[in-house]
Amino acid sequence: MANKQFDVIVIGGGPGGYIAAIRAAQLGFNVACIDEWKNGKGGPAPGGTCTNVGCIPSKALLQSSEHFDQAGHHFAEHGIKVEGLGLDLDKMLARKDQVVKQNNDGILYLFKKNKITFFHGRGSFVKAGEAGYEIKVAGAAEESIDGKHIIVATGSNARALPGAPFDEENILSNDGALRIGAVPKKLGLIGSGVIGLEMGSVWRRLGAEVTVLEALPTFLGAVDEQIAKEAKKAFDKQKLKIELGVKVGEIKSSKKGVSVAWTNAKGEAQTLEVDKLIVSIGRVPNTIGLNAEAVGLKLDERGAIAVDDDCKTSLPNVWAIGDVVRGPMLAHKAEEEGVAVAERIAGQHGHVNFNTVPWVIYTNPEIAWVGQTEQQLKAAGRAYKAGTFPFLANGRARALGDTTGMVKFLADAATDEILGVHIVGPQASELISEAVVAMEFKASAEDIARICHAHPSLSEATKEAALAVDKRTLNF
């Protein structure tokens, strides 16, 4: 029997893949999407890392743990008495699983709505033919399908420390970190990057004693220094213990827990004994089982699929997007690339502006930024003006009872064009969108300063920081 034919086959149903499939279907293509992720019952669970063991479950647990922390430590200042506060971790984890399932189901519904053929199983290259590529799908059954265009969106996997493979019992990746069955008395994390801080926050709020061991001597080196410093102060207050400039040595795991030998910044030998250890030292592009060799698909030196600025690979009509290619490993970056590739296949001019991809760390305070940091501008020798506004001087932040942090604007000294916006504080994840829009339209700080912002709102701090660039804040 002849293979089923598709205009576009997407391998991987994470945020990059499923969004690429939807956009391609909207553009009139006959589309298939293959994803191998299994839910607890062995059924399909599209949405990739982001939906199953990343963005969505981590934000669900961050929200639940934040409620717990608020009830335990902050409600009293609002005159709310809480007695007999307790934690039902099973229920908290079940709620998180339910949120994940709603997202999995939502994607399956979107596949139906957009008439996308979904295959549950592993997709791999078989061969290139005259009219496209043959892809094998290995699921409950095995079949081969043909596609004129292939979009590879196979994501990434957690990087393990040499000599300490993930067992998801004691030594945990992001997967195990999101389903620890009882709050550990002592929790260790290796790496104080995004996962280290988010997961460290969840379990700290729920009562664990948390120690994070970070190799770099600076805290959050990619973040604007002033913002990182402010965030560090807040984490210190929360007793999230972060050791910088460490060298991690031997890791021993036993029934009792995990023992980590490490050297501190002064070169002194230390041992960390913990019940569980989360290793969050970055992620590696995933091409396992893709059989890229069969068609000669080129990888780069990091093992990512080599692509150009337009996500074109070394092979005609094979595209790759998201975590499996260069660039930031973020869901919204993967989605934007998915849309752009579908549009390019349709002969349009899809485009991703890497200069305006926002970053958010969903801790308390939240940290969000877009564009360049002050240290990057200095290093590039660019003449700039900086303006900051503290949430302490914002009426809405005071009413919320959350005045940590600031908004910071960096603008070109001559033209006033916004070059970067950095926020640490309440709702930074939402506030950053205004800055992204402004930068996408090449706005000046003055443009934001002259726009009417609702009062009282946290967004007034954004306007005031824009005013601060020319030293004309009104409320500070």
The DSSP 8-state label assigned to residue 293 in this structure reads G
196 binds, among ligand FAD, ligand NAI, none (CB under 5 to 8 A by kind): ligand NAI
Binding partner of 423, given ligand FAD, ligand NAI, none, CB within 5-8 angstroms per partner class: none
CB 24 within 8 A of CB 31: yes
Q: Are 35 and 120 in contact (CB under 8 A)?
A: yes
User: Pick from 360, 367, 377, 445: which binds ligand NAI (CB under 6 A)?
Assistant: 360
Active site residue 78: no
Alpha-carbon distance of 216 to 404, in angstroms, equals 25
CB nearer to ligand NAI: pick between 199 and 339: 199
DSSP H helices in 246-359? 331-345
Q: Nearest distance from residue 152's CB to ligand FAD, in Å?
A: 8
| 35 contact, one of ligand NAI, ligand FAD, none, CB 5-8 Å limit per kind | ligand FAD
Q: Write the CA distances from 375 to 72, 420, 445, integer angstroms.
A: 38, 11, 19
At closest approach, how far in Å is the CB of 226 from ligand FAD?
Answer: 23
- Encoded one letter per residue, x for contact with ligand NAI by CB under 6 A and - for no contact, window 289-328 reads ---------------------------------------x
Binding residues for ligand FAD restricted to 50-109, rule: CB under 6 A:
50, 54-55, 58
SS3 assignment, position 143: strand
In terms of Cβ atoms closer than 10 Å to its own Cβ (0-12, 13-18, 19+), residue 452 is exposed
Residue nearest to ligand NAI (CB): 193
Neighbour count for residue 228 (Cβ, 10 Å)? 20
Q: Which residue number, 93 or 223, has a Cβ lying nearer to ligand NAI?
A: 223
**Min dist. Cβ of residue 33 to ligand FAD (A):** 9
Contact 280, 199 (CB under 8 A): yes
Place of tokens 């290796």: 190
Does 194 appear as a known binding residue? yes
Binding track, positions 327-346, relative to ligand FAD; x by CB under 6 A: --xxxx-x------------
Q: Which two tokens stand for residue 47?
A: 């949405």
**Which option in ligand NAI, ligand FAD, none does residue 248 bind, with CB closer than 5 to 8 A by kind?**
ligand NAI
Site for ligand FAD in 298-327 (CB under 6 A): 322-324
To the question of whether residue 123 is assigned a binding role by annotation, the answer is yes
CA gap 308, 337 in Å, rounded = 12
DSSP output for 383-428: -EEEEEEEGGG-HHHHHHT----EEEEEEETTT-BEEEEEEEETTH
Helix-then-strand count for the chain, H and E? 13, 21
290 binds, among ligand NAI, ligand FAD, none (CB under 5 to 8 A by kind): ligand FAD
Which residue of 177, 190, 277, 469 would you call a contact of ligand NAI, by CB under 6 A?
190
Sheet holding 209-213, edge to edge: 171-172, 276-279, 186-190, 209-213, 241-243
Query: Per-residue string for binding with ligand FAD, 109-138, x by CB under 6 A?
Result: -------------xxx--------------
Query: 233 has which bridge partners?
Result: none
Catalytic annotation, residues: 455
Site for ligand FAD, rule CB under 6 A: 11-17, 34-37, 48-50, 54-55, 58, 122-124, 153-156, 174, 195, 286, 289-290, 322-324, 329-332, 334
